[in-house]
């Protein structure tokens, strides 16, 4: 099955601020990945072409990296995921920038079923949480997309009841102003 999954969020940010978000991935100062609620993104070395790692059961290596502009990860697992995912800064004005996440792959074998039933709903929730983390790190009120009951169920089952709940508008990440203004 062919899959194209694209998420975008327009952020009140300069190109340089978006560049810093992308370049912080998997670092101690990661400002883009929602590591407080999801498995951390980790690599065997700093961000560079060839670095291997992933998050949770999703494994990949960095296939292309243009610092501050884009990063592309080639899947190596789970079995049946043949393709890539990545973040891009796609356009900017003086006061706004668009951050895009693209996943493009062909699924084979068990992934034909596991992608739409398990991985896609989890992926969609994670990426929307990533955009909310980006907003919070920019000092803006995060626009949180509530998890579906199915995502909450999957997280509970997969974590054996230990998954953290989603932050709500009333439970902003630490340091995020209530008004959305610094």
Q: 94-136: per-residue pLDDT in tens?
A: 889 999 999 999 999 999 999 999 999 999 999 999 999 999 9
Please list the residues that pair with 5 across neighbouring strands.
Answer: 103
For residue 90, the model assigns a pLDDT of 86
The more confident residue out of 78 and 15 is: 78
CB 132 within 8 A of CB 142: yes
CB 180 within 8 A of CB 141: yes
The pLDDT > 90 percentage for the chain reads: 80
Confidence at 168, pLDDT banded by 50, 70, 90: low
For residue 101, the model assigns a pLDDT of 98
Confidence at 73, pLDDT banded by 50, 70, 90: very high
Q: Which long-range contacts (CB under 8 A, 24 or more apart) does 53-62 make?
A: 53/26, 58/119, 60/84, 60/85
Structural domains of the chain, with CATH: 2-158 (3.30.530.20)
Instruction: Pick the range with the lowest mean pLDDT from 35-44, 116-125, 168-177.
Output: 168-177
């Amino acid at each position: 099955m062919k899959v194209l999954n694209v998420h975008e969020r327009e952020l009140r940010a300069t190109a340089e601020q978006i560049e810093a978000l992308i370049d912080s991935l998997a670092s101690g100062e990661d400002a883009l990945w929602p590591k407080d609620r999801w498995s951390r993104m980790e690599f065997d070395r700093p961000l560079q072409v060839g670095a291997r790692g992933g998050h949770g059961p999703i494994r990949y290596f960095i296939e292309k990296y243009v610092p501050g502009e884009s990063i592309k990860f080639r899947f190596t697992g789970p079995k049946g995921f043949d393709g890539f995912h990545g973040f891009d800064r796609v356009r900017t004005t003086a006061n706004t920038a668009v951050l895009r996440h693209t996943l493009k792959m062909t699924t084979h074998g068990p992934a034909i079923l596991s992608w739409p039933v398990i991985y896609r709903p989890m992926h969609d929730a994670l990426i929307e949480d990533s955009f909310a983390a980006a907003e919070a790190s920019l000092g803006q009120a995060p626009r949180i997309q509530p998890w579906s009951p199915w995502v909450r169920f999957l997280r509970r089952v997969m974590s054996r009841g230990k998954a953290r709940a989603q932050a709500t508008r009333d439970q902003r990440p630490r340091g995020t102003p209530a008004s959305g203004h610094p």
